Structure 1
Amino acid sequence: MKKQIILYFFLLLLGSRMEVSAQSSEEKNVSKAIDGLVVAMIAADKDMLNAQLSDALQYGHSSGLIQDKSGFVNEVVSKAPLVYQSIEREKEVIKLSKKTATVSHILVIKGKNPAGDPVNLRIGNMMVWEKEKSGWKLLARQAYKL
Structure 2
Amino acid sequence: MDESATEKFVLKLHEAKFRWMVNKRLDSLNNMLDERVQYVHSNGWIQNKKEVIEDIRSGKLTMTNVKVTEAKARVYKGFVIVNGKGIFSGIMDGKPLDISLLYTEVYAKRQNGWLLVSRHANKLQ
Mark yes or no: TM-score above 0.5: yes
Is the Cα contact below 8 Å between 2:41 and 2:122 reproduced in 1?
yes
Match of 2:38 in 1: 58
Aligned partner (choices 64, 68, 71) of residue 89 of structure 1 = 68
Shift in Å, 1:114:
4.7
Specify which structure has the bigger relative contact order, considering alpha-carbon pairs within 8 angstroms and separated by 6 or more residues: 2
Q: Deviations over 1:75-127 (max 9, x none)?
A: 122221x3111111122111100110111111211223454x53211111111
| TM-score, normalization by structure 1 | 0.76
Q: How many residues align?
A: 122
- Secondary structure of the 2:108 match is strand
Match of 2:101 in 1: 123
The separation in 1 between residues aligned to 2:19 and 2:69, in whole angstroms, is 16
Backbone CA RMSD of aligned residues:
1.6
Which aligned segments of 4 or more residues in structure 1 are displaced greater than 4 angstroms? none
Cα separation, partners in 2 of 1:24 and 1:122, compared to 1, 3 Å: same
Cα separation, partners in 2 of 1:67 and 1:114, compared to 1, 3 Å: closer
Is the Cα contact below 8 Å between 1:33 and 1:137 reproduced in 2?
no
Counterpart check, 1:103 vs 2:77? no
The separation in 2 between residues aligned to 1:112 and 1:87, in whole angstroms, is 12
| TM-score, normalization by structure 2 | 0.88
Cα separation, partners in 2 of 1:120 and 1:63, compared to 1, 3 Å: same
Which ranges of structure 1 fall in alignment gaps of 5 or more residues? Answer: 1-22
- Secondary structure of the 1:44 match is coil
- Secondary structure of the 1:91 match is strand
The separation in 1 between residues aligned to 2:53 and 2:90, in whole angstroms, is 17
The separation in 2 between residues aligned to 1:136 and 1:77, in whole angstroms, is 23
Same amino acid, percent of matched pairs: 27
Aligned partner (choices 108, 114, 136) of residue 114 of structure 2 = 136
One-letter amino acid of the structure 2 residue matched with residue 31 of structure 1: L
Which ranges of structure 2 fall in alignment gaps of 5 or more residues? Answer: none
Is the Cα contact below 8 Å between 2:11 and 2:82 reproduced in 1?
no
The separation in 1 between residues aligned to 2:7 and 2:114, in whole angstroms, is 10
